[in-house]
Chain A
Amino acid sequence: MSWRPIARREFATLVDGRSVKIAIALVAFIFAVGGYAAGASPRGTMVTYARRLSGITPLLITAFALLFGYRAIVGDRAAGRLTLLLTLPHSRRDVLVGKFVARGAVVVGSILAGALVGAWLVSYPFGTVDGGELLVYLSATLLFALALFALALALSTLTVSPRRATVGAFGVVVAVAFWSNLRGLFALALDSLGLTTATGGLPDWALFVYGLEPSLLYDRILASFVVGRETGPFLGPDAPWYLGGETAVVLLLAWFALPLVGGYLRFRGTDL
């Protein structure tokens, strides 16, 4: 149980930073303002809220989660604090768990606070918020944030160079930002191989691969369980089960769990 002191110290140093405070405030503010805007339309609901924010949140959460995760291990490692920490009776698992809890709490706390205020602003004074929808929205959003945070933390264990970690984190953000633009390119490539469907679209297996990207999974979960959309190649009535919302939840959980496990195994196995 010796991760607790690590988490406490990590939390204290983290929230001391000016840029960290600005990032927290910005994220919470955007989630709250989304509620203010969504509640302005008559009879605003969580659906309005989710739609309002859908343009900005995937990228915002990605950048935010990466920001808190990408230096978690490598920063301490490069500065020599990690060796210092491990001269004390902490296991490497304690270090990882402590960092995960402290930084994860900040990520989750900021989004949760902003989204709760946002939901309240949706409901007051004109709209209504369904408790179930709110719960689903929060769970999906936090799961998405934690998945990217776990990815960032894993990245942070992979390298000893903070510069490489920065490049890696930047790469993840860019990949998430541009992934959906690559759909046409896929279609083109598959078409040249003669693998597209009769109408020139992607076949189901290719859609599955393309749809593995976390922000698309997040989008699909919201579309499926909050907005309730039942059209399109993923959620339409003809789509196979593995393109549906339930599968997206499982896949996003995997995005959360696999990097954590991988990062831990990697971190446990390397020399410092």
Chain B
Amino acid sequence: MSWRAIARTDARTARRARGTIALFAVFLLAYLGLAAVLLYVDDPAFVTYLDLLATLFVLLVPLIAVLFGYESVIGERDSGTAALALSLPHSRLDLAVGKLAARTGLLAAAVGLGTLLAGVLTSVTFDGFDPIALIGLAAVAIGYGGVFLLLATGLSMGISTTRRVITAAFGAYLGLVVFGAQVVNAVVVLLFRLQPGALADPPTWAQFVTFILPDTAVEYLLVQLLGEGPLLAAPAQSGWFVSPIVAVVALLAWGAVPFVVGYRRFDESDL
């Protein structure tokens, strides 16, 4: 249970760090700025608001989580605070879990605060206010962010220089979230020898891989939760695997696998 001490200390440190202020600023800006824009263009429909917000979160949340999580362990190792923390009776797992818990907690707090303020604002000014949907979106965002915090912490443990951790973390973000589907499509087109029409009916495995990409999976979950909107669209994939369970398992795996592998490497190496 000694990860709690680490988590508390990390939260304390982070509270005074610029990164945490930026975290809160970005989420408040997203929640309130979007509401302000909609009020300004005079289209205060809550459904539109939620749709825009959800679409934004699909891309934004992993980026923030990766930024917020990549230095969690490598930073401590580089600066030497890891030597201090581990000279106390903590295991390395305590260190990793504590860091992760603190950062997930702060992310949740930022999302929670945004939700609260946005709820107050939109319930007064928007038509069709739906508190359940807003809270649901917050829950998905926190979980989605947690996945990328797991991934970033895993990289932070498993790779031994800060620069490589940064490269790997951004590589993961770009490769999985931003360009993931394009990469899969490129492979399909190449395999089908550049024949036109290969993408019109992609093979099952390509559909599966595309579906379990984190952004597709979370978008699917959001559609299940909030319904389709002008921007938020159900994934184009079809097949047995298009189900909430597969989406959730895939998301968990994107976080858990790097975390476990990274922890193994961290645990085996000299500090």
Contact = CB atoms under 8 A, between A and B. Distances in A.
Task: Tell me if chain B binds chain A.
Answer: yes
Interface in B185-238: 191-193, 203
Interface residues of B, number: 4
B162 to A, nearest CB: 28
Interface in B159-205: 191-193, 203
A124 interface: yes
A36 B192 CA distance: 10
B199 to A, nearest CB: 13
Contacts of B203: 125
A124 B193 contact: no
A39 interface: yes
Contacts of A126: 193
A121 B191 CA distance: 8
A40 B191 contact: no
A153 B203 CA distance: 47
Scoring B192, B193, B203 by chain A CB atoms within 10 A of each residue's CB, the highest score goes to: B193
Nearest to B203: A125
B96 to A, nearest CB: 34
Nearest to B198: A125
A36 B191 CA distance: 8
Interface in A83-129: 121, 124-126
Contacts of A40: 193
B218 to A, nearest CB: 30
A50 to B, nearest CB: 19
Nearest to B193: A40
A121 B187 CA distance: 12
Contacts of B193: 36, 39-40, 126
Contacts of A125: 191-192, 203
A48 to B, nearest CB: 13
A125 to B, nearest CB: 6
A121 B203 CA distance: 15
Interface string A25-44: 00000000000100110000
A126 B191 CA distance: 10
A39 B191 CA distance: 9
Contacts of A124: 191
Contacts of A36: 193
A23 B241 CA distance: 41
Nearest to B194: A40
B192 to A, nearest CB: 6
Scoring A39, A121, A125 by chain B CB atoms within 10 A of each residue's CB, the highest score goes to: A125
Nearest to A40: B193
Nearest to A41: B193
A121 B192 CA distance: 10
Interface in A149-188: none
A140 B46 CA distance: 70
Nearest to A39: B193
Contacts of B192: 125
B114 to A, nearest CB: 46
B177 to A, nearest CB: 27
A126 B203 CA distance: 12
A40 B192 CA distance: 8
A41 to B, nearest CB: 9
A39 B192 CA distance: 9
A263 B154 CA distance: 53
Interface in A21-73: 36, 39-40
Interface in B238-252: none
Contacts of A121: 191
A254 to B, nearest CB: 41
Nearest to B190: A36
A74 to B, nearest CB: 41
Interface in A214-245: none
B203 to A, nearest CB: 7
Contacts of A39: 193
A24 B29 CA distance: 54
Interface string B27-63: 0000000000000000000000000000000000000
A40 B191 CA distance: 9
A4 to B, nearest CB: 27
Interface string A128-155: 0000000000000000000000000000
A21 to B, nearest CB: 21
A146 to B, nearest CB: 32
6 contacts: A39-B193, A121-B191, A124-B191, A125-B191, A125-B192, A126-B193
Interface of B: 191-193, 203
Interface of A: 36, 39-40, 121, 124-126
7 smallest CB-CB distances across A and B, nearest first, come from A40-B193, A125-B192, A125-B191, A124-B191, A125-B203, A39-B193, A126-B193
Given A40-B193, A125-B192, A125-B203, 6 more contacts: A36-B193, A39-B193, A121-B191, A124-B191, A125-B191, A126-B193
